[in-house]
Amino acid sequence: MKTRVLDSWPILEWIKGGNDSTEFVDSLLSEAEDGNARLLMSVINAGEVYYFLMKHHSAQLAASWRDLARTLPVTIDVPAAEDVWRAASLKGQFAISYADAFAAALARKHNCPLVTGDEEFRGVTDLNIEWLQRP
């Protein structure tokens, strides 16, 4: 069973809908629902989706995401202290956001691809990335 980590980027594209990234995320969610894939997402990145939707769309859409996140076939990972140190170390080494550092740290921890389209990750060495196309 293939494990992947989801960054906030593919989830935001999936919520927006109507592009190739949406279809890819749909297929990943279907695979996970069927037990053929394992999807992980840091709670930091899930919170990033929430605040982005609240800030750029509406509190109602953000609340819908919060409710939906609980039902998706995605394991929401709550970082332990050691995970925080790993993410902080990545943030210190690379030009990425703090939230992105948690996605990268989680992918490294599970030795699996990070699914994203966020260009910030291009500079992160030793990170297996499954790139999605920008719409």
Q: What is the mean pLDDT of residues 89-108?
A: 97
Domains and CATH numbers, the chain: 2-131 (3.40.50.1010)
The stretches of 57-123 forming alpha helices (DSSP H) are 59-69, 81-93, 98-109
3-class SS of residue 6? strand
Report whether pLDDT(60) > 70. Answer: yes
pLDDT tens per residue, range 105-129? 999 999 999 999 999 999 999 999 9
**Contact, 121 vs 104, CB < 8 A?**
yes
Q: Is the pLDDT of residue 36 over 80?
A: yes
Amino acid 18: pLDDT: 76
Q: Across residues 53-61, what is the average pLDDT?
A: 96
Predicted pLDDT at 133: 76
Predicted pLDDT at 62? 96
- Is pLDDT of 99 > 70? yes
